[in-house]
Amino acid sequence: RVPCSAGTAPEQELLCIFGTGDLGRSLGQRLLQTGYRVVYGSRRPHSCGPLPERAQVMSHAAAAQSANLVFICIHRENYDFLETLAPELKGKVLVDVSNNVEKNLYPEANAEYLQRLIPGAHVVKAFNTLSAWALQNGPSDANRQVYLCGNNAEAKQAVSVVATKLGFTVLDRGSVSAAKELEDFPLQLFPEWRLPLRLAVGLTAFFFFYLLIRDIISVYIKEKKDISFRIMVSLANKVFPIVSLIMLSLCYLPGVIAAFLQLYRGTKYKRFPDWLDRWMLCRKQLGLLALGFAFLHVLYTLIIPIRYYVRFRLSNRTPEFDTTMAWRTDSYYSVGILGFGLYLLLGITSLPSVSNALSWREFSFIQSKLGHVTLFFCTFHTYLYGWDKFLRASSYKWYTPPGYMLCLVLPSVVLVLKLLLLLPCVDRSLTRIRQGWERTNPD
């Protein structure tokens, strides 16, 4: 945070805003509330629509001359006229807050273009990742971070002081060449969720159709029996936990692959392949989606006893009590509950507010050690659910395995690989590599 400069009273400082649109108005309002004086530069100073009370309005040239810091709240398409104001803007700090409607619309960033139009000014890109709403309401109700970049350190410092006084946290992204990246920020729509979401949709669609054909259409073809009502609860309650378990194992598979890669290479100083890097970076999203699917499974499981179909079956049969069966069902319920409890813990500790309060050691203990224990419980729950059905020929309708058997492949592989990594001799080598030891001299 930038400390308040002792000598200057903030009320006295005059800031200029070019542009009287939504963003310009919201920014002006907020600056006035914080104690600044504000002057708007407008093409038509006498008829420019409603502006915050206490703000002055002047022509662009007069407004530019009266302040040292000018916010440019106008569209890039209208920047050309600024060239004519080059003499008035010389030596001033220009804050470019603009954004574009799509990526790569122009060869250079808006801030770089502005700097080219007025080489004598110091352009700082800032505030563009905030909405007019966030600017007006302040950080209490919206995003707190203001990214900025620019070539002149003093100009950036001046903008940081204003942003900090407005209550935002400033993140300096370097020179004006970073402006393009900052201008692309608001155009991104959950970029790190894209791959996990696609995967979740793909897996759900695959298992839905696989189980639809195998468990429902096959019965219709063989026995002419319509059990399509099962799509709503039984099928859903198969697809969701299956996808959840696969996605949970996909969270831990890249870590295991990375460990084997380090063991194979004998060093931690070589970059991982790009695909592995990208995969590792979306583990949190994979895990949160997996948790969402597990949650659905638990909700569906809760309603099983009140279903019409189950009540109907129970009323027609009074089965013998079978202790083994009781052990089996109680065990898989209990292990499932334990797995779900740990799953929730993983989800909660991945929230930034919680993870920020943990040390790196605590975070990695929960996410790695407890994460693998969670995977073990969930996998064990599914094995217990399968019980002896793995050995019965009748389980393999049309020579295809049931969904839960398919979904056990990946978690079982991950757990076996993890067990191998835990063998003392392997663990020792890996720890040494991670502490910086290299098998061969890089030269």
Which residue's Cβ lies closest to ligand HEM? 336
> To the nearest whole angstrom, how small is the minimum distance from the Cβ of residue 199 to ligand HEM?
15
Chain centre to alpha carbon of residue 237: 27
Does 294 sit near ligand HEM (CB under 6 A)?
yes
Distance between CA atoms of residues 415 and 256, nearest Å: 9
Closest by alpha carbon to 342, among 409, 291, 300? Answer: 291
Q: The tokens of 402 are what?
A: 């049931």
Taking the least distance from each CB to ligand HEM, the nearer of 317 and 361 is 317
DSSP helix/strand/coil, 18: strand
Binding residue for ligand HEM (CB under 6 A) from 30, 199, 403, 433?
403
| C-beta separation of 33 from 57 below 8 A | no
Taking the least distance from each CB to ligand HEM, the nearer of 129 and 379 is 379
| C-beta separation of 434 from 268 below 8 A | yes
Distance between CA atoms of residues 10 and 162, nearest Å: 9
Going by DSSP bridges, is the β-strand pair 122-126/145-150 parallel, antiparallel, or unpaired? antiparallel
Does 414 sit near ligand HEM (CB under 6 A)?
no
Helix residue ranges, H only, 214-269: 218-223, 236-265
Taking the least distance from each CB to ligand HEM, the nearer of 33 and 334 is 334
> To the nearest whole angstrom, how small is the minimum distance from the Cβ of residue 247 to ligand HEM?
8
Binding residue for ligand HEM (CB under 6 A) from 89, 97, 199, 242?
242
| C-beta separation of 131 from 156 below 8 A | no
The size of the interface with ligand HEM (CB under 6 A), counted in residues, is: 26
Helix or strand (DSSP H, E) at 110:
helix 110-117
Does 381 sit near ligand HEM (CB under 6 A)?
yes
Q: Which span sits near ligand HEM by CB under 6 A: 48-56, 71-79, 306-314, 331-339?
A: 331-339
Q: Which span sits near ligand HEM by CB under 6 A: 109-117, 136-144, 166-174, 399-407?
A: 399-407
Does 411 sit near ligand HEM (CB under 6 A)?
no
The footprint of ligand HEM (CB under 6 A) covers 234, 237-238, 241-242, 244-245, 248, 294, 297-298, 301, 333, 336-337, 339-340, 343, 378, 381-382, 385, 402-404, 407
